[in-house]
Amino acid sequence: MSDAPPPCCSVRGLTKNHGQIRANDGVDLEIRQGEVFGLLGPNGAGKSTLVRQLTGLLRPDAGSVEILGHDVVRHPERAARLLGYLGQESTALDELTVALAAETTGRLRGLSRAAARAESAEVLAELDLEPLAGRPLAKLSGGQRRLACFAATLVGERPLLVLDEPTTGMDPVARRAVWTAVDRRRAERGTTVLLVTHNVIEAETVLDRVAVLDQGRVIACDTPGGLKALVAGDVRLDLVWRTEPPLQVAAVAGLAERAERTGRRWSVRTSPEEARELVAAVTTGPAFAALDDFTLTTASLEDAYLQLGGRRGGLAK
Amino acid sequence: MTVLSDTETGTAPRAAATGPAPLAPAARLLPALAAVYRAQLARAKVARIPLMFVATFQSVGILVMMRGVVDGGDNPSARAVVAGSSVLVVAFVALNLLAQYFGRLRATGGLDHYATLPVPPASVVLGAAAAYASFTLPGALVTAGFGAWFFQLPLTHLWVLLAVVPLAGAALSGLGAALGLLAPKQEIATLLGQLGMSAALLLGVLPAGRLPQAIRLLRDLLPSTYGVDAFARSFAPAPAWPAVLGDLAVCAGVGLVSLTLATYAYRRATTR
């Protein structure tokens, strides 16, 4: 027990109501030092409300939040001295150049002017933002602006980074820059990262552990692999029809009742054996003539979420 | 938490290692204020310069319009019109635009950025207010210079504007920031800012001597009035300096109160 690193962030019984809606309903979490911890859930699950209470922006109705030994509910002003926060909005920085946004944020994190300038230059180089350094954020594309805000979050080192959907709108190169920068800080300084996401693929690849939120509650908390073990052995078959689905084919008619349908896409979770039979049935005869595309994948975190009883029709939008 | 760790581990060094982590230093008031001020001035390059032209053209337009009903040469009405138009530039930017800026920042969640940085609230409010007041100086000087020439008033004491702009600027920008931060909706912040500017326009530019008593009371309640009066007095051949200083002192006092109110409003807006 004494070998376990002390928790970076410990949340107990956190409850927050927005009027009649219970946004967080008795949330318990323990985030270990140096881990990349994810909050996964559909829109409106209470992820951002939870994060806003951890960052001292919102006062909980009940419960406790402790970050690196500090009671953030009683002393919300300490949160800013313990963590770097990347929110979803950039309006405070929009009319600044990328370099000035990063430097100013560093100065407001308590760095001297020289230190803020040096650190800002370092971070911009690290994230390949130097060519954009002199351009105002408002003139950048969504992904570039997001990356510039991420840069500002890194200037003025903090032991905990709270990132609310940091890679929204980014191209793969920018995404990789973000995760490389996060990994470097974790390896060199033991930085802990709390990541809010509803991107299942990202969650599976970058997170050490993930808490799944649904309607304000944590319905599961485990490693991505551990969560996927809930649906281990299952596969997901996606079919896309060119025209009307050929319901005269028995296998297709049977599937029609079970599949989740989104337009002409049908999606079904099933056993590998049945999937083989279904693939055989739809890749021959009239069914194949009507088939535009099909994919067969192992079950994902999204399937785990649905298996756990998650509502709202899944995570990814 | 600390007590628990002590009993769990029993050893002092281990207890120290698991105690509360050291807090990073917070930003101090003046360096943070300087950083906010510098960033806000830089914003001007992107967003504010066209608005400065609007503010100045508006005031120059009013001067031209009022010339039709007010005689040139040294008379109380001419002084009031020139002084009122010059201070109107300050009201347009410091009150109206700052109310809109903070209203938008609050409505879009942009305040979260500042609220999650260890900065004293006063540095954010004062830095933004000082920057917005600074934007107005060139426009106010241009308006005053043009107005004095146009109404044949002496330019001798134009320098008084260098005291009027920051002091009236403090009073009006504090008010603008407070309105923007306290308004429950962005649209209401915009509306209040516009109303404040309209009040500064109507009550500041029209000569006080010609206003009805009730309106004159309203005029006395408006912080920009004292800036207008101080500047108007300076056009006299022998200005009554104690009265000018008195007016400026009122501006400074109102500035202090309104900036304190704005800081309170900021604190309230960021801790919900």
Note the pLDDT tens digit of each residue in B199-258: 888 888 888 877 888 888 889 888 889 999 999 999 988 889 999 999 999 999 999 999
- Chain A stretch 129-158, residues whose beta carbon is closer than 8 A to a beta carbon of chain B: 136, 138, 156-158
Domain residue limits, chain B: 27-271
Give contacts of A 77-116 with B, CB under 8 A.
Answer: 77-83, 85, 87-93, 95-97, 100-101, 104-105, 107-110, 112-113, 116
- The answer to whether the Cβ–Cβ distance between A68 and B112 falls below 8 Å is no
CA distance A22 to B169: 44
Residue B32: its chain A contacts at CB < 8 A?
A: 107-108
Nearest residue in chain A measured CA to CA from B31: A107
Which residues lie across from A36 on neighbouring strands? A193
Give the H or E element holding residue B61.
helix B49-67
Residues in chain A, total: 317
Which of B2, B109, B116 minimises the CB distance to A55?
A: B116
* Interval A51-81: pLDDT, tens: 999 999 999 999 999 999 999 999 999 999 9
Query: Residue A290 carries which side chain, given as an amino acid letter?
Result: A
Contact B260, B176 (CB under 8 A): no
Strand partners, A12: A64
pTM of the model: 0.85
**Do A108 and B27 lie within an 8 Å CB cutoff?**
yes
* Share in percent of chain A as helix, strand, coil (round to 5): 40, 30, 30
Residue of A nearest to B19 (CA): A69
Q: How confident is the model at residue B93 (pLDDT cuts 50, 70, 90)?
A: confident
- Report helix, strand or coil for B11: coil
Query: CB within 8 A of B62, min separation 6: which ones?
Result: B81, B85, B88, B201, B205
3-state secondary structure of A85: strand
Q: DSSP code of B86?
A: H
Q: CB distance A100–B39 less than 8 Å?
A: yes
As a whole number of angstroms, the distance between CA B59 and CA B61 comes to 5
The b-or-e profile of B195-215 (16+ CB within 10 A means b, else e) is ebbebbbebbbbbbeeeeeee
| Alpha-carbon gap, residue B246 to B252, rounded angstroms | 10
Among A105, A107, A135, A158, the strongest candidate for a mutation testing the B interface, having the largest count of B CBs within 10 A, is A107
Residue written as token pair 């298996």? A307
- pLDDT tens, per residue, chain A with 317 residues: 455 667 899 999 999 998 888 999 999 999 999 999 999 988 888 998 999 999 999 999 999 999 999 999 999 999 999 999 999 888 889 889 999 999 999 999 999 999 999 999 999 999 999 999 999 999 999 999 999 999 999 999 999 999 999 998 899 999 999 999 999 999 999 999 999 987 888 888 899 999 999 889 999 999 998 888 888 888 889 999 988 888 888 888 888 888 888 888 998 888 888 999 899 888 888 888 889 999 998 888 888 887 786 665 556 54
Tokens standing for residue B88: 């109107």
Report how far apart, in Å, the C-alpha atoms of A88 and of each of B108, B183, B251 are: 10, 23, 39
Min Cα distance B241 → chain A (Å) is 41
User: Which of A16, A82, A91, A157 to mutate to test binding with chain B, by most B CBs within 10 Å of its CB?
Assistant: A91
Contacts with B116 from chain A: Cβ below 8 Å: 55-57, 79-80, 83, 85, 87
Residue A27 CA neighbour count, 13 Å, CB half:
36
User: How far is CA A143 from each of CA B27, B40, B67, rounded to the nearest angstrom?
Assistant: 29, 24, 53
Smallest Cβ–Cβ distance between A89 and the set B18, B42, B110 belongs to B110
Shortest distance, CA B179 to any CA of chain A (angstroms): 18
CA distance B229 to B163: 13
Query: What sign for the dihedral angle of Cα B128, B131, B135, B137?
Result: positive
Confidence category of residue B20, pLDDT binned at 50, 70, 90: confident
Residues from chain B that touch A146, judged by Cβ atoms under 8 A, are none
Which strands make up the sheet holding A209-214, listed edge to edge? A83-86, A160-164, A192-197, A36-40, A209-214, A217-222
Q: Which residues of A touch B268 (CB under 8 A)?
A: none
Q: Do residues A158 and B24 make contact, with C-beta atoms less than 8 angstroms apart?
A: yes
Chains A and B: how many Cβ contacts under 8 Å? 130
CA distance A303 to chain B (A): 33
**Pair A147, A129: CB distance under 8 Å:** yes
Q: In chain A, whose CA is at the least distance from the CA of B46?
A: A95
* Alpha carbons B217 and B233: distance in angstroms, whole number: 19
Chain B CB contacts of A90 below 8 Å: 110, 113
DSSP alpha helix (H) spans, chain A: 47-54, 98-108, 113-126, 142-154, 172-189, 200-206, 224-228, 250-258, 272-282, 285-290, 301-307
Q: Which residue of B has its CA nearest to A57?
A: B271
Judged by a CB distance cut-off of 8 A, whether residue A7 touches chain B is: no
The contacts found for A273-282 with CB under 8 angstroms, 24 or more apart, are: A275/A235, A275/A237, A277/A251, A278/A237, A278/A251, A279/A237, A281/A249, A281/A250, A281/A251, A281/A252, A282/A239, A282/A249, A282/A251, A282/A252
CA dist B71 to A132, B81, B82, B228, Å? 55, 11, 12, 19
> Kind of pairing, strands A265-270 and A235-241?
antiparallel
Q: How many residues does chain B have?
A: 272
Which residues of chain B are within 8 Å of residue A68 when distances are taken between CB atoms?
A: 20-21
Q: Is the CB of A159 inside 8 Å of chain B's CB atoms? A: yes
Chain A residues with CB under 8 Å of B117 CB are 80, 105, 108-109
Q: How far apart are CA A59 and CA B105, in angstroms?
A: 20
Which residues of chain A are within 8 Å of residue B131 when distances are taken between CB atoms? none
What is the percent of chain B where pLDDT is above 90? Answer: 53
The predicted pLDDT at position B55 comes to 85
A155-B39-A128 Cα angle (round to 5)? 40
Nearest to A109 by CA among A156, A76, A160: A156
The whole-angstrom distance between A274's CA and the closest CA on chain B is: 49
Residue whose C-alpha is closest to residue A192's, from A157, A168, A216: A157
Cα separation values, A122 from A145, A181, B109, Å: 18, 12, 28
Which H or E element spans position B29?
helix B29-43
Which tokens hold the place of A23? 């946004």
